[in-house]
Amino acid sequence: MKKLEVKPTVISNLAFKSRPGALPGKPIKTNQDSYIIVPKFMNKTHYGFYAVADGHGLYGHLVSRYVKRFLPSTFLKFASIINFLLQEILESELRGKDLHKRRTISKAMKQAFLLTN
């Protein structure tokens, strides 16, 4: 079996920008977006957790703050299975054909998001 050498990607700079939406007749609106930046996610230098919580509606800013606060820790509950599957995908000779593993990762991420609610 051929062993693939995978070099971690390093993010040296990160930027974000957000601005509040607009409502007719209300010139000043609360920015309802929150961002999540967790470098060295799962204590691994080559993993990062980055997300945007795009708030909408009357309480959108509260919801996006809640997601920012709880999504990373909820995601960690699924981290071991995701990490295991990612490692298998990276080491697999069939990188393009491991659809089941990729779907499992996607389901775990979706479950973490739903549990944050």
Domain ranges of the chain: 33-116
Residue type, 91: E
pTM of structure: 0.66
Checking if the pLDDT of 10 tops 80, the result is no
pLDDT tens-digit map of 24-71: 777 777 888 899 988 888 787 777 888 888 888 888 889 999 999 998
Q: Which of 4-8, 75-79, 84-88, 105-109 has the lowest mean pLDDT?
A: 4-8
- Give the pLDDT of residue 44: 77
Residue 2 pLDDT grade (very low, low, confident, very high; cuts 50, 70, 90): very low
State the Cα–Cα distance between residues 27 and 117, nearest whole angstrom: 31
State the Cα–Cα distance between residues 33 and 44, nearest whole angstrom: 27
How far lies 35's CA from each of 52, 77, 78, 94, 107, in Å? Answer: 4, 20, 21, 35, 22
Question: SS3 letters for 14-83?
Answer: CCCCCCCCCECCECCCCCCEEEEEEECHHHCCCCEEEEEEECCCCCHHHHHHHHHHHHHHHHHCCHHHHH
